[in-house]
Amino acid sequence: MKSNDLEGLFMARKRNKELMKFAEEIGGEEAIEVIKALEKKGEATDEELAEVTGIRVNTVRKILYSLYDNQLAEFRRTRDKDTGWYYYYWRLETKRLPEIIKAKKMQELKKLKEVLDEETREIYYHCGTPGHPRLTFDEAMEYEFRCPLCGEMLMQYDNTEIVKELQERIKKLEKELGLKA
Ligand SMILES: [Zn+2]
């Protein structure tokens, strides 16, 4: 095997992993099944995919349109001369996958940074009971430092762990995106 082949194999596996992760986000296990079936067949109609996977055709169609919306699938339409019905032949289109994944990660990074910013800017208050709301200083003032749910005294909430986790996730994403070494 030439090194080029190995490289190609590695890229294909990486691409596949990312595609499956994306599939799971848009339609869970069923989307993964549909994509696997489509990849195997190369080109298929929604009915064929439903038959192969055992997933209802409406669900298959929904998954295909989600893929299409994300520019990860394409179709060609043919018309049956006798019945006049249209048939849609679907296939995967993964050229834009790296770009799509990158955009999603950038979006996530932006959101995480906003949350981190808020977590480091605010001082939070909490009554100590899990599930009860965490209030900002202004909110706590409004409630006279009493929990709006149980009426217990609010104490300053230590968010060190949350901040640490956010920082770690940001660092990991930045590394994945090649923004920081
Ligand atoms: Zn409470």
pLDDT digits (tens, 9 = 90+) for 19-61: 888 888 888 999 999 999 999 999 999 999 999 999 999 999 9
CA of residue 86 to ligand 1 center, whole Å: 60
- Contact residues for 19 (Cβ-Cβ < 8 A; gap 6+): 35, 72, 92, 94, 97
Q: How many CB atoms lie within 10 A of CB 35?
A: 27
Amino acid at 74: E
CA of residue 142 to ligand 1 center, whole Å: 15
Tell me the two tokens of residue 135: 């209030």
- Where along the chain do the CATH 1.10.10.10 domains lie? 3-95
Alpha helices in 70-159 (DSSP H): 97-121, 137-142
CA of residue 112 to ligand 1 center, whole Å: 27
pLDDT above 70 (res 146): yes
Instruction: Give the model's confidence band at 115: pLDDT under 50 very low, under 70 low, under 90 confident, else very high.
Output: very high
pLDDT above 60 (res 1): no
CA of residue 158 to ligand 1 center, whole Å: 16
CA of residue 130 to ligand 1 center, whole Å: 8
Residue closest to 19 by CA, chosen among 113, 114, 98: 98
Q: What is the DSSP letter of 152?
A: P
CA of residue 127 to ligand 1 center, whole Å: 5
d(CA 85, CA 13) in angstroms, rounded, equals 38
> Could you give the percent of the chain with pLDDT greater than 90?
72
CA of residue 145 to ligand 1 center, whole Å: 11
CA of residue 137 to ligand 1 center, whole Å: 16
pLDDT above 70 (res 181): no
Instruction: Give the model's confidence band at 15: pLDDT under 50 very low, under 70 low, under 90 confident, else very high.
Output: confident
Q: CATH for 3-95?
A: 1.10.10.10
